[in-house]
Amino acid sequence: MPHLRMYSELAHWWPLLSPPAHYVEEAAYFRALLRRHRPRPRTLLELGCGGGSLASNLKRDFALTLTDVSPQMLAVCRAENPECEVLEGDMRTLRLAREFDAVLVHDAIMYATTEADLRATIATAALHCRAGGLVLLAPDCTRESFGQHTADEDAGASHADGGTDHGGEDAPDGRGLRYLEWCWDSDPSDTTYQVAYAFTLRERDGSVRTELDVQTQGLFSEATWLALMRECGLEARTVSDPWRGKIFAGVRRAAT
């Protein structure tokens, strides 16, 4: 994986960038999806858990195993979720030699930027899911949905413009973070788009600095997602999602 500053030297700022409180509604959505599955999942593996903010809202309902490739993010995750199993591993190559009732890959799936990386990540999810279990893949966007929100709100916006976002929080110790996120697709013929994050960081002593992290993320059609899931032994379908429009659900087929 490429070097991403947000998940390495800036990782300790994660609780002010994307704290558990931001995931309450989304966690409720995933909880409802998982509870509707039969048999109801008890064990859940999350690939690419990051700082564990989503997991923090799910750990009361499932026995969680949380994995990520970044040791710095795992340190944040362990501090937030000390009662959970937390393991270092790449979502493309992780092999735990055990199966779970369900596997979730949240927005970390966006760092699969080639079809080979996406297939490898889906294969990891499928291999760790028991027969009849549920795999949930929740990309931020697909080729079809990228830029849709911007185009709906601004008739003059190019489809290549994926839009902007902003936010941030303050800590009781005086630290603070504000960010601006800007997405665009410089080459609509490939499987990636670009994301720039500008962070303004205030330290405890009141000093302020800015940091920049420019990333490349993956962009694939719905048909590609579904085809790769089926290749990996999943009965795949799209599921309506309040934030992204659609996510992908797959039931692991029994071995023949």
Per-domain boundaries in the chain: 5-142+220-252, 148-218
CATH class held by domain 5-142+220-252: alpha beta
pTM, rounded to two decimals: 0.93
Contact by Cβ (8 Å): 78, 15? no
- Closest listed residue to residue 62, CA positions, set 45, 50, 80, 44: 44
- pLDDT above 60: residue 155: no
Arithmetic mean of pLDDT, 11-16 = 98
Question: Which tens digit of pLDDT belongs to each residue from 72-130?
Answer: 999 999 999 999 999 999 999 999 999 999 999 999 999 999 999 999 999 999 999 99
Q: Which two tokens stand for residue 53?
A: 């903010």
Burial class from Cβ neighbours inside 10 Å (0-12, 13-18, 19+) for residue 204 reads exposed
- pLDDT of residue 150 exceeding 50, the answer is no
User: Quick one: what percent of the chain has pLDDT higher than 70?
Assistant: 94
- Per-residue pLDDT, averaged over 215-237, amounts to 98
**pLDDT greater than 70 at residue 146:** yes
We find that the CATH architecture of domain 148-218 is Single Sheet (2.20)
The pLDDT assigned to 147 comes to 81
Give the per-residue pLDDT at 40: 96
Cα–chain-centroid distance for residue 219? Answer: 14
